[in-house]
């Protein structure tokens, strides 16, 4: 007979917790904790500092902690002066000590969610982080996962680990999910101008998360955490499918002697019903090559197939091989040379233009494939002077970018443009190298004046 009374008591307690939390958020009287100070976490810290909050940044990488304290930028689009401004607020604290995670009122998790070697979700970083949080979890805290993952992760994985602390989600503390939507290098949008999706499994928890995020940007609440998780996956699956489509059209039209870039430029003049996507040498970055396969894995657990997504994945994963085949044919027919024994320069190591992020970059696969075919391969990237350690190709760690000079370029038989950074002298390239394989249409202004040496791939 006491159950209804007890339930009402619990509901009243969570509502009271949410009301007090929201009032403190409005007054900027919260400490926002951010776990993971990389491409997502660092801009988020900056946004909350600008909004007037105290911010606690945590990262297991002590080199990042040292760099922030010294106002030394380690991400290209967040230079030193922005770190100096963050430190100058007097409201930023950073640490690699997990014991300090009990202090912040809110913890935002920005940790990696890669695929393992079997292309299955690797949520070990989420699990280990939640176990760390559980050791210091206290009443009234809000825990929000921002990392992309499959629908159900927050409810099925995070909640049980956090509740191992003895506290109950939705009663003693709150859980929500709000996927990151960062686009490094995009000068038109940043953390404060991109709307935030927020999902939670109860109204009080949702109110708490909305109260935090609405201080820095527009918020779009959704029904629950798994809906918010599905929103993020849908955004990236949409991109994957359309990129795969345009890459397939590139091959089809190329066989007909039609330039797909000109086709896209024509089609995008239609003011409705068409959105331009562009071909390339493959997919890179922390989202599109990975996120869709979180859904395919979860769908199998529910007896569902994702044929469309998997087909798109097959198309884009095959692009590096096709590019190498096109380079091989061009060298044979135009230079009368084999790839083996030739000197080849790959331009661009980052996965997209104008950033220093090489996660999942197709350039790494291209270099690997060319070296396997006996070529001597170097790279040039003005944003990545040296290759850091990476999981897929650890053998490239320490490889350094060449100097961009006429003398250096003249040593190569062919150049493969994988990333079309803006701050590259393409005219010097056109004047110096006998063969240029262009996967990004970077040489469009030189095709007519340098007929025969530029091949669109």
- Active-site positions? 287
Within 10 Å of residue 307's Cβ, how many Cβ atoms? Answer: 8
Non-local (6+) Cβ contacts of 300 within 8 A are none
Type and span of the H or E element at 377: strand 376-380
Give the helix/strand (H/E) hosting 246: helix 225-255
Dihedral angle of Cα 437, 440, 442, 448, to the nearest 10 degrees = 60
CA 262 to chain centre: 29
CA 197 to each of CA 38, 137, 221, 223, 238: distance values in angstroms, whole numbers, following the listed order: 20, 25, 6, 10, 17
Q: How far apart are CA 216 and CA 175, in angstroms?
A: 19
CB-based contact 335:364 (threshold 8 Å): no
CB 215 within 8 A of CB 105: no
CA distance 263 to 95: 51
| Cα angle for residues 190, 289, 234 (degrees, 5° grid) | 65
Detail the DSSP E strand segments found in 146-229: 174-177, 196-199, 219-222
**Strand ranges for 115-226 from DSSP E:** 142-145, 174-177, 196-199, 219-222
Q: Which two tokens stand for residue 214?
A: 């609405």
Interacting residues of 265 by C-beta distance below 8 A, sequence separation 6+: none
Inter-residue contact 226 to 156 (CB < 8 Å):
no
Query: Does residue 435 contact residue 331 with C-beta atoms inside 8 Å?
Result: yes
């Amino acid at each position: 007979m006491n159950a209804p009374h007890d339930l009402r008591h619990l509901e009243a307690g969570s509502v009271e917790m949410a009301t007090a939390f929201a009032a403190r958020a409005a007054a900027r009287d919260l400490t926002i904790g951010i776990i993971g100070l990389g491409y997502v976490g660092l801009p988020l810290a900056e946004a909350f500092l600008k909004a007037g909050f105290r911010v606690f940044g945590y990262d297991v990488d002590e080199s990042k902690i040292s760099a922030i304290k010294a106002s030394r930028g380690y991400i290209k689009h967040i230079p030193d002066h922005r770190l100096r401004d963050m430190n100058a607020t007097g409201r930023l604290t950073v640490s690699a000590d997990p014991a300090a995670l009990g202090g912040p009122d809110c913890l935002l998790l920005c940790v990696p969610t890669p695929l393992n070697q079997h292309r299955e979700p690797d949520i070990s970083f989420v699990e280990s982080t939640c176990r760390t949080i559980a050791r210091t979890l206290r009443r009234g805290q809000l825990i929000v996962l921002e990392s992309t993952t499959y629908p159900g992760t927050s409810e099925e994985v995070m909640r049980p680990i956090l509740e191992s602390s003895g506290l109950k989600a939705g009663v003693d503390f709150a859980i929500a999910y709000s996927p990151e939507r960062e686009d490094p290098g995009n000068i038109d949008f940043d953390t404060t101008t991109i709307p935030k999706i927020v999902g939670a499994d109860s109204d009080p928890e949702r109110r708490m998360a909305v109260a935090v995020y609405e201080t820095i940007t527009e918020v779009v609440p959704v029904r629950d955490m798994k809906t918010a998780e599905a929103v993020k996956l849908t955004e990236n699956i949409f991109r994957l499918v359309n990129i795969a489509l345009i890459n397939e059209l590139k091959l089809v039209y190329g066989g007909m002697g039609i330039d797909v870039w000109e086709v896209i430029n024509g089609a995008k003049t239609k003011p409705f019903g068409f959105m331009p996507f562009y071909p390339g040498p493959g997919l890179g970055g922390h989202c599109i090559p990975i996120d869709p396969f979180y859904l395919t894995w979860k769908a199998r657990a529910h007896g569902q197939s994702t044929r469309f997504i998997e087909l798109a994945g097959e198309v884009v994963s095959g692009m590096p091989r096709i590019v190498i085949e096109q380079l091989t044919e061009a060298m044979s027919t135009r230079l009368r040379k084999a790839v083996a024994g030739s000197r080849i320069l790959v331009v661009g190591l980052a996965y997209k233009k104008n950033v220093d992020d090489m996660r999942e970059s197709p350039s790494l696969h291209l270099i690997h494939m060319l070296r396997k075919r006996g070529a001597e391969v170097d790279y040039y990237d003005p944003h990545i002077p040296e290759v850091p350690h990476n999981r897929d190709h650890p053998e490239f760690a320490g490889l350094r970018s060449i100097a961009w000079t006429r003398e250096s370029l003249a040593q190569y038989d062919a150049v493969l443009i994988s990333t079309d950074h803006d701050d590259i002298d393409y005219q010097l390239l056109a004047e110096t190298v006998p063969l240029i394989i262009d996967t990004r249409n970077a040489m469009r202004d030189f095709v007519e004046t340098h007929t025969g040496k530029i091949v669109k791939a």
